[in-house]
């Protein structure tokens, strides 16, 4: 008990030592390679607070964001509130001139080489760059690939007669154990069940595949014989099967040489309570050792996301939904584990809650509002409905829906969206985010947006 009291006094005295607090930059001697950066923090003595003699605009919550230009070399900043002073030294590395950049060259092989994927979830890309949005497909382990060239850290993969794609050298190994002869698709079986359309395709070996979702929704197997362009194309019968172009979720994977393609049926919902019995995964961003962004007043993103997620759970349960939390306390959960939790519980929605931050070269005072990320088309309409509801009910600015290659929205089994509720490092937005009333309203607005999705 005595020890606890001692720690408490120690913490209090730490916070009282200064009447202002800087949360970013995190240390008073840092290297930042950018033409500008910003100080984020809070101050009590609003009128006397200055950075290098310039007065700083302090929000009524006490928070501030102040942009400073950086010259190459050392930049010194003296921060003062008339009583206390702190000095920050930010070093911007000096650019080295004269170096000539040589772009990586494509090397085309004489013949074709055989490779095998060695990791699960290996992304196949449309270009030899690790850029996120250029993903075509994700392969499990042991998918054989024919490769006919390389560029920087990628191999060029042969897909049928006319198509090429790229895979990271780290995700494959050379493999001579099979021939590059074409595969045979001998047909498929269709299994109907209350929740899924399931198609089981019979092949005589594993091949690279792609699932493309758009106006039409199709599955392609590459390097297959007796097909145009050595490509087997199966178009999902939207009209007959689903009677709607809304896809709730899907998965495709090999089971031996059979390929199981499962598409979730759009649920028949009760008009008055569309979320009744719906399985919804709520994902509070970050947690444990991973704080996420730090707000002006020192609040951590992981605490704000957990608070909103708990209110969202209550709000959804009130409407009859079955909620699965990927974390319910301040624990660290990996990105893959979060997706696994949603899928193991057969969640139809995956809603990930975050607060936004910005890179050094941006101005936090000029960025406000709610943005929602989706990756697959299936979730676009959901993102739009939730954003409209949040902007309307919370009065947050419209920071748009965005297609983004974030791990949590790349879950195809559910309608997956990631909500950046507002900017933690914008003083105005931050004041809202840490307000309990706002957090509760936010949960209601998200739940209403989900219901709107079914009405539309």
Is residue 369 close enough to count as binding Zn ion by CB under 5 A?
no
What is the nearest approach in angstroms of Zn ion to the Cβ of residue 227?
A: 44
Is residue 292 close enough to count as binding Zn ion by CB under 5 A?
yes
The answer to whether 66 and 364 are in contact (CB under 8 A) is no
Contacts of 271 by beta carbon, 8 Å cutoff, 6+ apart:
455
Is residue 265 close enough to count as binding Zn ion by CB under 5 A?
no
Is residue 287 close enough to count as binding Zn ion by CB under 5 A?
no
How many residues line the site for Zn ion (CB under 5 A)?
A: 3
DSSP-derived letter for residue 195 is S
Q: Which is nearer to Zn ion, 285 or 427 (CB)?
A: 285
* Segment interacting with Zn ion (CB under 5 A) among 12-20, 250-258, 312-320, 351-359: 351-359
The answer to whether 403 and 409 are in contact (CB under 8 A) is no
What is the nearest approach in angstroms of Zn ion to the Cβ of residue 81?
A: 30
**Around Cβ 180, how many Cβ atoms within 10 Å?**
14
* Segment interacting with Zn ion (CB under 5 A) among 137-145, 316-324, 354-362, 434-442: 354-362
* Segment interacting with Zn ion (CB under 5 A) among 348-356, 359-367, 409-417, 434-442: 348-356
The answer to whether 374 and 315 are in contact (CB under 8 A) is no
Q: Which is nearer to Zn ion, 274 or 292 (CB)?
A: 292
Secondary element (H or E) of residue 13: helix 2-17
What is the nearest approach in angstroms of Zn ion to the Cβ of residue 285?
A: 4
Residues in contact with Zn ion, shown as a per-residue x/- string from 322 to 341 under the rule CB under 5 A:
--------------------
Q: What gap in Å lies between CA 261 and CA 51, rounded to an integer?
A: 60
What is the nearest approach in angstroms of Zn ion to the Cβ of residue 24?
A: 15
Q: Which residues pair with 150 in a beta bridge?
A: 107, 155
Is residue 354 close enough to count as binding Zn ion by CB under 5 A?
yes
What is the nearest approach in angstroms of Zn ion to the Cβ of residue 301?
A: 5
Angle at 403 between CA 400 and CA 406, to 5 degrees: 115
Q: Which is nearer to Zn ion, 356 or 365 (CB)?
A: 356
Q: Where are the beta strands (DSSP E) in 223-312?
A: 231-235, 250-255, 258-264, 279-284
Q: Which is nearer to Zn ion, 92 or 354 (CB)?
A: 354
What is the nearest approach in angstroms of Zn ion to the Cβ of residue 306?
A: 12
The answer to whether 124 and 167 are in contact (CB under 8 A) is yes
Q: Which is nearer to Zn ion, 227 or 284 (CB)?
A: 284
The answer to whether 393 and 432 are in contact (CB under 8 A) is no
What is the nearest approach in angstroms of Zn ion to the Cβ of residue 422?
A: 12
* Segment interacting with Zn ion (CB under 5 A) among 81-89, 97-105, 197-205, 291-299: 291-299
Q: Which is nearer to Zn ion, 171 or 430 (CB)?
A: 430
Q: Which is nearer to Zn ion, 265 or 354 (CB)?
A: 354
Angle at 272 between CA 271 and CA 276, to 5 degrees: 90
What is the nearest approach in angstroms of Zn ion to the Cβ of residue 230?
A: 43
Of 303, 324, 300, which Cα lies nearest the Cα of 312? 324
Name residues contacting Zn ion, limited to 18-77 (CB under 5 A). Answer: none
**Around Cβ 274, how many Cβ atoms within 10 Å?**
18
Residues in contact with Zn ion, shown as a per-residue x/- string from 222 to 241 under the rule CB under 5 A:
--------------------
Name residues contacting Zn ion, limited to 266-285 (CB under 5 A). Answer: 285
What is the nearest approach in angstroms of Zn ion to the Cβ of residue 356?
A: 8
Q: What gap in Å lies between CA 266 and CA 382, rounded to an integer?
A: 13
**Around Cβ 355, how many Cβ atoms within 10 Å?**
29
Contacts of 114 by beta carbon, 8 Å cutoff, 6+ apart:
144, 145, 146, 147, 174, 175, 176, 178, 180
Q: Which is nearer to Zn ion, 165 or 433 (CB)?
A: 433
What is the nearest approach in angstroms of Zn ion to the Cβ of residue 193?
A: 37
Secondary element (H or E) of residue 7: helix 2-17
Angle at 336 between CA 333 and CA 341, to 5 degrees: 75
Q: Is the bond into 25 cis (omega within 30 degrees of 0)? A: yes
What is the nearest approach in angstroms of Zn ion to the Cβ of residue 175?
A: 39
Please identify the residue of the shown chain whose CB is closest to the bound Zn ion: 354
- Pure H helices in 216-354: 301-318, 335-344
Q: Which is nearer to Zn ion, 149 or 295 (CB)?
A: 295
Q: Which is nearer to Zn ion, 264 or 354 (CB)?
A: 354
- Residues forming contacts to Zn ion in the complex (CB under 5 A) are 285, 292, 354
């Amino acid at each position: 008990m005595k020890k606890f009291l001692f720690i408490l006094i120690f913490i209090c005295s730490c916070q009282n030592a200064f009447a202002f607090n800087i949360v970013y930059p995190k240390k008073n001697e840092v290297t930042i390679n950018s033409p500008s950066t910003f100080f984020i923090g809070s101050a009590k003595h609003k009128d006397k607070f200055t950075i290098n003699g310039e007065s700083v605009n302090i929000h009524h919550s006490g928070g501030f964001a102040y942009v400073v230009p950086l010259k190459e070399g050392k930049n010194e900043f003296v921060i003062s509130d008339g009583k206390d002073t702190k000095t920050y030294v930010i070093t911007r590395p000096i650019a080295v001139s004269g170096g000539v950049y040589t772009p990586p060259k494509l090397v085309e092989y004489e013949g074709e080489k055989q490779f095998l994927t060695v990791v699960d979830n290996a992304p196949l890309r449309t270009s030899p760059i690790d850029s996120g949005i250029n993903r075509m497909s994700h392969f499990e382990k042991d998918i054989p690939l024919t490769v006919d060239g390389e560029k920087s850290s990628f191999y060029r993969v042969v897909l049928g007669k006319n198509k090429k794609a790229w895979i990271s050298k780290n995700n494959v190994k050379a493999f001579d154990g099979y021939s590059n002869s074409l595969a045979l698709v001998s047909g498929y079986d269709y299994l109907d069940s209350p929740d899924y359309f399931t198609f089981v395709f019979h092949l005589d070996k594993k091949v690279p595949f792609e699932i493309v979702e758009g106006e039409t929704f199709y599955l392609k197997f590459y390097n297959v014989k007796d097909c145009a362009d050595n490509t087997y194309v199966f178009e999902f019968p939207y009209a007959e099967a689903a009677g709607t172009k809304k896809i709730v979720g899907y998965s495709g994977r090999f089971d031996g040489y059979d390929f199981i393609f499962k598409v979730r049926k759009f649920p028949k919902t009760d008009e008055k309570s569309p979320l009744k019995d719906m399985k919804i995964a709520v994902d509070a961003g970050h947690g444990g050792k991973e704080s996420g962004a730090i707000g002006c007043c020192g609040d951590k993103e992981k605490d704000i996301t957990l608070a909103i997620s708990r209110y969202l759970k209550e709000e959804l349960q009130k409407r009859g939904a079955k909620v699965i939390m990927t974390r319910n306390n301040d624990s660290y959960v990996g990105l893959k584990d979060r997706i696994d939790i949603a899928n193991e519980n057969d969640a139809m929605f995956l809603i990930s809650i975050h607060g936004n931050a910005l890179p050094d070269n941006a101005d936090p005072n000029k960025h406000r509002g709610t943005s929602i990320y989706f990756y697959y088309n299936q979730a676009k309409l959901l993102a739009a409905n939730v954003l409209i509801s949040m902007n309307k009910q919370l009065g947050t600015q419209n920071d748009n829906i965005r297609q983004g290659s974030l791990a949590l929205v790349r879950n195809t089994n559910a309608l997956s969206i990631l909500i950046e509720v507002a900017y933690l490092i914008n003083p105005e937005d931050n004041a809202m985010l840490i307000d309990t009333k706002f957090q509760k309203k936010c949960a209601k607005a998200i739940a209403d947006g989900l219901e709107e999705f079914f009405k539309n």
